[in-house]
Amino acid sequence: MILAIAILCIVALLLGLPLFIGLGTLGTLYQTHNAIDLGASSFADLTRQLTVVFSDPLSKLTGDQSALFLTIPYFTLTGYLIAHSHFATRVVNLYLLLIRRIGRVGTLGLGVVCIFIAALFTPLTGASGVTIVAIGGILFPILTGAGYTEKRALGLITASGSIGLLFSPSLPVILFGIMSENKADINELYRSGILPGLLLLFSLSVVVFFYSFTGKKSTTLNLNASVKAVEFSTRDALKLTLEIAAIPLLYALMHSRYMIITELGVFFLLYYFILEVVIFREISVRKLLSVFEEAIAMVGSILMIIFFAMILTNALLYDAVPQKLFGYISQYIHSPLTFLILLNIFLLIVGSLMDIFSAIIVIAPLVIPIAESYQIPMLHLGILFLTNLEIGYLTPPVGLNLFLSSLRFQKPMGEIYKSIVPYLIALLVAQIIITYIPWLSLWWKSGG
């Protein structure tokens, strides 16, 4: 009966059942099968056993680790404030002003600027889909107006939609630190992600410059009237300076440990609230309510998924599933390098099928003990985990960013697949380099 219900639950998940309901049901069923005596002498005994099932996840959400979970709403609210402001428009307009001044060289670098805008935007919003939806519509006409073909512009925006997830204050980094039970310190994860994150940016930039120098010069020089007429006032410059100034300040405070991660979340939520709502007045009170509604819906879904996923994770750990998996895998795989190849492939598949929050919550607790058995450094594992899931968003046929891009730009999936190929290849090459050169993740620990 339990097996039949579990199968029905998995099928329902594939058909659209909310993830937290599916995880909660599967976890409770698994615990019922392994840890609960349905033949308990009294209802009170059965209730006591069921309480044990929920007590550990609840204690993590409300106990010693609750401070880490508080970072999720703070940074999510901050990201949504920035997403609904004119921050991205100001960055683009500034660069378009430079293009008008310096001509073809600036046009060649426009794609790179779009990549770096996405890299700034994605960690602030916490989810790559927001990047495509929020700034994709701004960047697409600018790129095509500057001479990029629709295919090139489409591929660039889609690929850039998941870039930057390694940089602070990215929520997936915080979530991995939480799910590792602090084996991977969050501040250290951000530090470890700097070079791998820059390598991913560089890999996309190489494709952009390759396209630029192999394309027709007449196309590259084709700046449309909207680019020539772009306006960027002194007031815009002042606003952008204040907005961008918070980013190096965030890194400085985080790595100096002057503030803990929760205090940073509060500080930057207040900082951007005062800027965008009080001083700039780009977000009205009415719009602020809808912004908070969106953000709180995201926060609520993440926290519910975490709670119910922990039930399933605890059940799997109780039954020693990671140890059993390692015992099976170790019969055939003896080299850590071979294990990393299979891990990359597995995580790319997971990343293409699940959103990054669900993947971290469900998969990380199972992978971490196995990776430790192969003596993979925890910080290196965290970076590999996150970069694979990041690239998984772009992996055909069902990567999330592919569907979002198709929906946002009203393009068929076949066209999206073709546009993404060179960028995906570049990211996969970068991923291989990150995997087999651990120094990129651990340079700061070695004194390098």
What average pLDDT does this structure show over 295-306? 72
pTM higher than 0.85? no
What average pLDDT does this structure show over 71-82? 78
Where are the domains positioned within the chain?
A: 2-57, 66-283+319-442
Q: Where are the alpha helices (DSSP H) in 161-284?
A: 171-179, 186-192, 194-214, 217-220, 225-228, 234-256, 261-273
| Exposure of 259 in the CB half-sphere (CA atoms within 13 A) | 15
Rg of the chain on CA atoms, in Å: 23
- Name the amino acid, one letter, at 188: E
Backbone torsions φ then ψ of 168, nearest 5 degrees: -70, 150
Per the rule left: phi > 0, alpha: psi between -120 and 50, beta: everything else, 200 is: alpha
The most confident of the ranges 100-104, 366-370, 384-388 is 384-388
Is there a contact between 322 and 363 (Cβ–Cβ < 8 Å)? no
pLDDT at position 162, please? Answer: 78
For the CA atoms of 369, 373, 377, 383, the dihedral, rounded to the nearest 10 degrees, stands at -50
Q: Which residue has the higher pLDDT, 368 or 3?
A: 368
What average pLDDT does this structure show over 293-320? 69
Is there a contact between 197 and 164 (Cβ–Cβ < 8 Å)? yes
Per the rule left: phi > 0, alpha: psi between -120 and 50, beta: everything else, 148 is: beta
Is there a contact between 123 and 168 (Cβ–Cβ < 8 Å)? yes
Burial call 248-278: b when 16+ CB within 10 Å, e when fewer = eebeebbeeeeeebeebbebbbebbbebbbe
Joined tokens for residue 139: 């960047």
CA–CA separation, 253 and 56 (whole Å): 32
CA–CA separation, 18 and 24 (whole Å): 10
Compute CA distances 62 → 56, 67, 69, whole Å: 10, 8, 9
When the pLDDT of each residue in the chain is averaged and rounded to a whole number, the result is 76
pLDDT at position 448, please? Answer: 46
Helix axes 378-392, 356-373, angle to 10 degrees: 140
The most confident of the ranges 19-28, 60-69, 113-122 is 113-122
pLDDT at position 217, please? Answer: 47
Is there a contact between 360 and 323 (Cβ–Cβ < 8 Å)? no
Chain centre distance of CA 131: 11
The proportion of the chain whose per-residue pLDDT surpasses 70, expressed as a percent, equals 66
